[in-house]
Structure 1
Amino acid sequence: MRKLPIYAVALLFCLHLRAQVMPFKNYGIKDGLNDNNVQAVIRDNNGLLWLGTDFGVNWFDGKRFYQPQIKTNIGQFYVNGFYKDRSGTIWILTYFNGIYKYKDGRFTNYLVDTLLKDATINTVSDMMQVSNKKYVVIAHGCAYLFDGQKFSIFDPKNTVLKTNTNNAAQLPDETIVLSTDTGLFLYHFDKGKIKCSGHILNTLQTTQVLTTEKQLWVLTGNGVSSFDDTGNGLFSKTPKTYLPGKKIRNVAADKNGTIWGLIDNGTMWALSDTVFKIKNGEITQYTSRNGLPENIQQIYCDNEGLVWFANRKGVSLLGDEYYDFDAVKFGRTDEPVASLVNDPQNNIWLGTVYGLALKKNNRYFFYRNIGKQVIGYVSWLHKNKNGSVYAGTPIGILNINGASIRKLFNISSTAIGAGSEHQQWYGDINGDIWIDKGNSLRHVNIDHPINEMIMAIHAENKQLWVGYRDRGVVKYRIGRDSLFSIKEYGVKTGYRDFRIRSFAIDKKGNIIWGTRTNGAFVFSIAKDKEIAHLSSQNGLSANWVKDIYCDTDGKLYMATNNGVNIVSGDYKKPSIKQLKINNEAINRETNCIQKTGDVFYIGTNEGLLKWTPGNMHKDTVLPQIYFTHIDIQGQKTFSVAPYTANPGKISLPYDQHAISFEFAGISLKNPDNVRYHYILIGQDNEWGPVTEHNFVAYNLKPGNYTFKVAAENADGLWSRRPAVFHFIIKNPFWLTWWFILLVSLLIIWAAYSAYRYRLSKVLALEFLRNKISTDLHDDIGSTLSSISILSEVAIREKEQKSKRMLGEINERSHQLMEKMDDIVWSISSKNDTVGNLFVRIQQFASTVLEAKDIDYEVRVPEGVKEIKLDMQRRQHIYLILKEAINNLIKYSGCKMACINADYAGGLLNIEIADNGRGFDTKTASSGNGLQNMQKRADAIRGHLLIASAPGSGTRIILSVEIE
């Protein structure tokens, strides 16, 4: 295909100058600030940012705002400003409420006039420490000397000073400078007293004085003046004036000596604020078009190099100026940037959705047409080895030379790839491939053509790698006139989501394919295989990789639909970081990325982002770590002041064992990249892994514990000291030493008592055995001896006498059997109830009483029959009753007997009564029978009562305690 003739320079040519959007980060009510109208900002030695609003003070740790409670004297708590003295104490300057000192977690209020609590005299606008215990305080336009407790007029004798005083400062030689509506007043201490040493610039209204290491800056109605020598000859030289004719409202100096100031463009409610920066004598100005917030009220520069802007919509932060953004518009229409290239003159060409744009000297030139043809979507821009610039568009391949553009080939190319010998390969929207060898364009035949848009082409070692929009990648062998398929990487070979959108070659010769929905794949051309897959699962911020730039240091820069990702290290275990853009007005969707020198240019849907990595300075400030909340079992009885590093030590009861910690590492420069690790000594053996979470909860057993937590900033610096909290969870009372000792003693006592009880039972059993042995020996032994003697005598005697002896032998044998039967019955455990006892008594009584024709009655209630009796009581009761019945038969001469039993009050009561002749209990001798009965009653701790009188019968009552 022949080359087309050159067309005229673009028919549509427009010039636009765009303001660059700077990296401002804005915070307001939506982020937790209590009021958007921020009057003042300062940073304390703990790293916290203090913000003064119309409704009090806010503390900011980079992620969260907290409002400390401060009691006011009258009305609303309006904050005019802050001051940090030499010891790091923060002072709050208020409207109507004087000043507040914050020290050791307490706010202390001081009024200029304690008698006029609602007077404007207590409105303080400025403060400065001039000695260890003295401060200059500006209240309602008047200067006061404050000794830490009370106020006095600064120089009551100087009538010239009776003018509106605006500000105070101190030079390195300790000279005090007061800026007033009639110039500057100079003072010094002489033997502890204030003395005026000069009055200069008395024709000017000076609103602020600022001292730096080598300069004194004075604000007047005619710009800002700089005195470069703060020595003895300070005011003998003519100052250098910046921004003459401008009214400067506020200035501040950063840690590098750069001066920041605010130009007053009208009223205090003016929206078109202008901030200026003076660095090395050069002035840079910022307005709302650069992203500057409106209604700036104060500028504050902290020790991290961050610049804060208090304004009526919150507070704004300007950190490292490492990026700026141009909103690229043609008229009112956004120009989404799809491709980028720098030409030989280092101008930046932008391929947009609607055509081409050239950025030259911070101006944009737009090219929408070639002749009568609309350029349309620019798929790619490319600069070859010779420096020639090409563009792929729907109307053809364009050649860019300076400011002129011509159509080179009439094909709708969507991809370009450089080959050897100055060859260029083109892919088009229909899947066709073309080759340009420098003098002609030729269509290349494909053995198995694919009708799919080509998104990437790379030629190497007589092989052509082609990435298709929805069909993956095909590797071809380059023939003389054709391409022959070698291998396909797509659905058929296991790559189901391999829709190509970009590619790049890294310094090792690997090819990286960016996809629409599956991140990026790294292929080794030499090994002909995939070696890594990068996606959101291992750190990418998004899986739509639109463009890839490979730097000479091996890093990959990926433009995704969710920002730019920087990939370094081993592809299998990559380190992936995201380019942080603070400004919410800048679209996060990026389309392309190109590097020129040390600067990256990034195309977005709304314009061009310029990123200078060299301006990103490391955060060298160690992050401080504090507890923000400690919760113990949800109890309100314990609380820790927010931002406390060492709350001390507490002791908790055993039932308060659920404890949680919330903490904050303060790094205002990169708060989202602060990480933590912690250890609970008493449970953990080593520090835990690094995490982004700032909350941890435990459910603990009793013991001694120490919780420690440290913070790491974005550049790997750790807290100098961890935050520490000591606590003890007490044992429950049943695990305390005194309770364990008491229980141990009780167990010992119980064991000893059990031993004694068992021993008593053993002894009782032994006693019973001895008694049974004695009974057997005494009763049965004597009986058997009698039987033996009578038997021998009977053998020798005559028959009549022998019969009598044998009868006696028989009788004694029956007695022996009866006694043996009594012993066996008393021992048997089957007879352990009162019912069994009375069955035995009734058997005995029936035998002996019926033989004497004595009527009898036995009465035992059913409930009493079930009462248990141990062996000892059972035997003694039985023998007592048996003896009583025998006595009844022998001596009473009765005709009627009654045996009763009942149970009441723990006593078993048994009564044997007869209607016999009775006897006098006082005169009757107590024979062996009565004595034995009494002994047996005593043995079972019973009570035996014998009631009788002559002619009145006899009653024997036995009472025994039964458990």
Structure 2
Amino acid sequence: MYYFFTIYSTTLGFDITNNSTVPTKLTALKAKQGLSHNNVTALVQDKYGILWIGTDDGLNIYDGNSITTFQDNSEIKLTFNSIRTLSMDSLENKVWIGTNGSLEYYDYGENKFYRETIIPQDNIIEDVCKILWDDDHKKIVGVSNQGVYREREYGYTLISEETSHIYSIERINSTLYIASNKGISVYDLATDTYLDQPQLSFLHQKQIRLLEAFGDTLYIGTAQGDIFIFNKGVLEHVVNTNHSIKSITKDKQGIIWVGTESHGAYTLIKEKKKYRLQKVLNKKISAKTINFIYAGNDNIIWLGSFGNGLLQCNLNDPFFTIGEGPIKELGLNNGSVTSIENDAGKIWIGTDGGGIHQVDLSSMKITSFLKNKSILSVQKVKNTVWVGTYKDGLFYSSDRKRFKKLIRNDQLNYSIEKEVIWDILNDNDTLLWMATSRGVIKYNLDNGLLKRYEYDESNTHSLSNNDCRKVYKDIKGDIWIGSFHGLNRYCPRTDEFKRLYFNNKASDNMNVNNAILSIYEDEHLNFWVGTFGKGLWRLNRQDDLFEEEEEINKNLPSLFIYGIESSADNFLWLSSNKGISAYNVKTGQILNYNEADGLQGPQFNVGASAQFSNELLAFGGTNGVNFFYPQKVLNTSVKTLQPIIKKLIIHASDHPSVSKKIYHKKSITLQPDERNFSFEYAVVDFKQNHKLEFQTRLLGFDKHWQTSKNTFSSLYSNFEVGTYTFQVRARYPHQEWGKIQSFQINLSPFFYERIEFKIVCIVLLLITLYGVYRWTLKRTHLRNDRVEEIINQRLKTLISEEQVLSDLENQQSILIRETLEKREKELTTHALRLLHLTSLIEQLDEKLLHLQTHPEEFSTNKIKSIRRDIKNAENLEKEWEILNQLFAEVHQPFIKELQELNKGLTEGNLRLCYLIRLKMNTKDIASIMGISINSVKVARKRLRKRLELPTDISLNDYIFELG
């Protein structure tokens, strides 16, 4: 923990040689989180990053997300529950477990524990205290109650002279060191002989409890609390803890960690030629027994305690927190920190309801004052510490032993005994400026006079608002007051204020968008203002106008800026109700930090920030105060995450699900009925507060990545036979995706899905189809023959019947034709008769005309002849009716179509059509109809008009085409 120690020793100015304790941030994993027991005895981390945790009641594996427990009553059983030691065999990929009764190992492939017998006797309890390997990768096992055994080709052989009370063993090259109740024995593994080491004879009177080797150096721990170092034949006493040494380990930075009995943990620091202990201070371990310390991956130190579970110390965590807890263990009476002030190597921390605390990091002591007060502000002026409270006024102390309350009235005769003092400013060690809920108070330290400045509606040069939260002095010496309604600059010449607003308007009503909580001037003289809900603004002091930092405000997690500090490289550090943000003024870069990164919590408090020498920053919130070096925070990179695929769970409706561990495998083949399955995956990440994001896909099924947050499983069902590849990758929010982890799954087919079965089925089907085809073909031939015979018989009958029908049709056709011909003759005859009658009438007319002109030829005979002709002409109309009737019989289709197309034709029009149809010429038509040829032409024109015939269509052709 030299990292934490360096922060305070180099920053606050106390002597490093006097610092004997180290404040440490620890995270506990206990039985309530799933650990099998709170007494942790052994630890080891495998090549997958998974932590194996041995306890007094079972073995646990922990991946940062979940715990799996193995005991003698588990489905995967251990022989004995009490774990004494753990060791990783990376060559054979096995975890070896030494219990209080056996030597066992875990086989990843079989997912089982196997016991390996050391002493081939019945009912022998093998209390294994440690497991080592020689150069031939043969095991050397220390059995507490039986001796030290070495693995041979034919089994284990006893190599120790002492066969009881073996406490520890350790190996450096070919030399084996054995710690027992008689001291330390030295054994040469190359020659199988004991060596005389007189330098170690001094230790025979000590109760050696622990041996650990780092390189060529052997560390020796005793029950009396002594730590010795043996290197190159030289034994050196390093230090005495006065408490039995339980564990010694070395981290990747070379720091030695020491676990003791009933007195917590230490780090061993070498300064020049001397060593000293530095206590790891945390209430979780200060008075606890630390059974085992393990330096794991990612610079994490694991401390296995007696009764307090497993404790995690992340050396990469740049944030150190002092929070609520017992005073004797560097804790605060109340975790809500409201103010911070440096005081010559000591830190004053004000809390909400827990008073003010003086933290002395050189002695790791905390002294509290005003224990039940709500502290809002603290300021050191010369040798006096001034403390502002909530509704309790102002307190001060010059001796740092007790605080007195300031009893004063201002010029308006207002007492400050019940004042709410949000902020205090030291102005040249002569004036105190106090931002209060009733304006600003200026206290003259020389004459003791108080002057209050308040908002005056009638005076535009008074304060803009009485609720003031921040008072600040810039590099020019100007005093600035941030209120809940604008910014105020004090003018000492006139003893007045100039008001500045974000909207540049002095509204009478309070506007929260003008509320100012924090003020800061950086080294480049940029003047920054943090607001209550409007983000970060910069003041243009030439024009006294505010300029909004729009880009940063878009990317800040919160627009409530509670505190502003700065660091090198142009960074502003902003606290809010959603963590801390680092803003690079030059590049515009924004980095956001929250509880997952090690902060005390998301919520910080107004005014609770401070900058110490050497750039150490402090921000207080509702769960404590965070100290950190900005550069350390900026340089802390987020590692690229690589997930592991832990389990494959087979789901079935007729029996319980089956879980298979697969993180050590690359592929698996499933049975035909194992088509419903899910994958469980995780990131071996022990930053417990970090939220994770995963992307998964099943190649052969998914076309795209499926994204989920803090979901550690994916379910698939009803897949077709084939080979699929499950892939998963992970990241912290807003970081780059990590490496893809893949696992191949082969789905075995049912017998009826196999290609061989399908081929056999196809062959049998083809044979069957061929047989059916042959049988059908033969049957078809027989049926065709019978059908052909029947067809021939029926065909003959049909032909005969067809012949009869044909004869009948021919006869009918002849009859119809003869009838039509007869009717046609009759029609023609009647047409000729009409023509004759018409001619007769014409002749009769000529005779009468002749008698009229030649009356002298009138005679009885002439009269008789004319009367006879008249009688013959009397039947003309009747003949027309007969002609119409005959025409209708012969030319029925023609008449029907003519009437359908031209419904407005007269009787004369129809007679003209009939005569044209009968192919009568104009002269005949004129004679039959008894009109002149010109009248026929006129009648034809009228008929064309009625028929609406174009001029290019012949009337005769039109009538012939009808019907």
Specify if TM > 0.5: yes
Contact persistence 2:36–2:69 (CA under 8 A): yes
Residues 1:672 and 2:690 aligned together: yes
Corresponding position of 1:779: 804
Equivalent residue runs for 1:354-393 within 5 Å: 357-360=357-360, 361-362=362-363, 363=365, 377-381=374-378, 392=388
Contact persistence 1:252–1:299 (CA under 8 A): yes
Corresponding position of 1:132: 136
**In structure 1, which of residues 634, 642, 646 is the aligned counterpart of residue 661 of structure 2?**
642
Corresponding position of 1:164: 165
Corresponding position of 2:187: 187
CA distance in 2, matches of 1:765, 1:453: 119
Residue 483 of structure 1 deviates from its aligned partner by 4.3
Relative to structure 1, is the Cα distance of residues 197 and 638 closer, same or farther in structure 2, using a 3 angstrom cutoff?
A: farther
Contact persistence 1:41–1:52 (CA under 8 A): yes
Range with greater deviation from structure 2 (104-113 or 487-496): 487-496
Corresponding position of 2:727: 708
Contact persistence 1:504–1:550 (CA under 8 A): no
CA distance in 1, matches of 2:629, 2:651: 50
CA distance in 2, matches of 1:147, 1:24: 40
Equivalent residue runs for 1:404-803 within 5 Å: 410=410, 412=419, 413-415=421-423, 427-431=435-439, 443=453, 445=456, 447=459, 452-456=466-470, 467-468=482-483, 473-474=485-486, 481=496, 483=498, 500=515, 502-505=517-520, 509=526, 511-515=528-532, 521-526=535-540, 528=546, 530-532=548-550, 540=557, 546-559=562-575, 564-568=579-583, 574-580=590-596, 590-591=604-605, 592-596=608-612, 597-603=614-620, 609-612=626-629, 624-631=642-649, 634=652, 639-642=658-661, 644-646=663-665, 648-650=667-669, 659-668=677-686, 672=690, 674-685=692-703, 691-698=709-716, 702=720, 704-712=723-731, 722-728=741-747, 774-775=799-800, 777-781=802-806
Relative to structure 1, is the Cα distance of residues 244 and 496 closer, same or farther in structure 2, using a 3 angstrom cutoff?
A: closer
Residues 1:99 and 2:108 aligned together: no
CA distance in 1, matches of 2:698, 2:511: 47
1:746-783 CA deviation, whole Å, 9 max, x = no partner? 99999xx9xx99xx9x9999999977973455223456
Q: What secondary structure does 1:334 align onto?
A: coil
The one-letter code matched in structure 1 to 2:267 is K
1:400-425 CA deviation, whole Å, 9 max, x = no partner? 989699979956553468999x9997
Could you say which structure has the higher helix fraction? 2
Backbone CA RMSD of aligned residues: 5.8
Count of matched residue positions in the alignment of Structure 1 and Structure 2? 730
CA distance in 1, matches of 2:251, 2:591: 33
Residues 1:116 and 2:122 aligned together: yes
Relative to structure 1, is the Cα distance of residues 634 and 700 closer, same or farther in structure 2, using a 3 angstrom cutoff?
A: closer
The one-letter code matched in structure 2 to 1:131 is D
Contact persistence 2:358–2:366 (CA under 8 A): yes
**In structure 1, which of residues 318, 322, 327 is the aligned counterpart of residue 313 of structure 2?**
318
Structure 1: 5+ residue runs without aligned partners?
1-16, 265-271, 792-963
1:804-841 CA deviation, whole Å, 9 max, x = no partner? xxxxxxxxxxxxxxxxxxxxxxxxxxxxxxxxxxxxxx
CA distance in 1, matches of 2:321, 2:601: 13
Equivalent residue runs for 1:342-357 within 5 Å: 342-343=342-343, 345=344, 347-352=346-351, 357=357
Contact persistence 2:183–2:205 (CA under 8 A): yes
Corresponding position of 1:67: 69
CA distance in 2, matches of 1:475, 1:740: 90
CA distance in 1, matches of 2:332, 2:719: 66
Corresponding position of 2:207: 205
**In structure 2, which of residues 27, 36, 39 is the aligned counterpart of residue 37 of structure 1?**
39
Contact persistence 1:58–1:67 (CA under 8 A): yes
Relative to structure 1, is the Cα distance of residues 534 and 788 closer, same or farther in structure 2, using a 3 angstrom cutoff?
A: closer
CA distance in 1, matches of 2:687, 2:467: 45
Corresponding position of 1:305: 299
Larger radius of gyration: 2
CA distance in 1, matches of 2:443, 2:366: 33
CA distance in 2, matches of 1:144, 1:717: 51
Residue 640 of structure 1 deviates from its aligned partner by 4.9
Residue 218 of structure 1 deviates from its aligned partner by 1.5
CA distance in 1, matches of 2:737, 2:671: 31
Residue 723 of structure 1 deviates from its aligned partner by 3.6
Relative to structure 1, is the Cα distance of residues 308 and 427 closer, same or farther in structure 2, using a 3 angstrom cutoff?
A: closer
CA distance in 2, matches of 1:593, 1:747: 91
1:166-222 CA deviation, whole Å, 9 max, x = no partner? 2211113x211111222222222346x455465742444322221102411122345
CA distance in 1, matches of 2:508, 2:590: 26
Residue 151 of structure 1 deviates from its aligned partner by 4.7
Percent of aligned pairs sharing the same letter: 15
Contact persistence 2:700–2:725 (CA under 8 A): yes
The one-letter code matched in structure 1 to 2:667 is G
Corresponding position of 1:147: 151
TM-score, normalisation: structure 1: 0.61
Residue 325 of structure 1 deviates from its aligned partner by 2.5
Residue 395 of structure 1 deviates from its aligned partner by 7.3
The one-letter code matched in structure 2 to 1:140 is S
Relative to structure 1, is the Cα distance of residues 175 and 287 closer, same or farther in structure 2, using a 3 angstrom cutoff?
A: same
TM-score, normalisation: structure 2: 0.61
Contact persistence 2:698–2:725 (CA under 8 A): yes
Corresponding position of 1:805: none
CA distance in 1, matches of 2:28, 2:812: 127
Residue 588 of structure 1 deviates from its aligned partner by 7.6
The one-letter code matched in structure 2 to 1:314 is G
Residue 152 of structure 1 deviates from its aligned partner by 3.8
Q: What secondary structure does 2:340 align onto?
A: strand
1:414-466 CA deviation, whole Å, 9 max, x = no partner? 3468999x999754312468799999967375547776522235799999986
The one-letter code matched in structure 2 to 1:522 is L
Q: What secondary structure does 1:207 align onto?
A: strand
Relative to structure 1, is the Cα distance of residues 468 and 146 closer, same or farther in structure 2, using a 3 angstrom cutoff?
A: same
Contact persistence 2:379–2:426 (CA under 8 A): no
Residue 282 of structure 1 deviates from its aligned partner by 3.0
The one-letter code matched in structure 1 to 2:24 is M
CA distance in 1, matches of 2:687, 2:717: 35
Residue 284 of structure 1 deviates from its aligned partner by 0.8
**In structure 1, which of residues 271, 276, 279 is the aligned counterpart of residue 269 of structure 2?**
279
Q: What secondary structure does 1:132 align onto?
A: coil
Residue 110 of structure 1 deviates from its aligned partner by 1.4
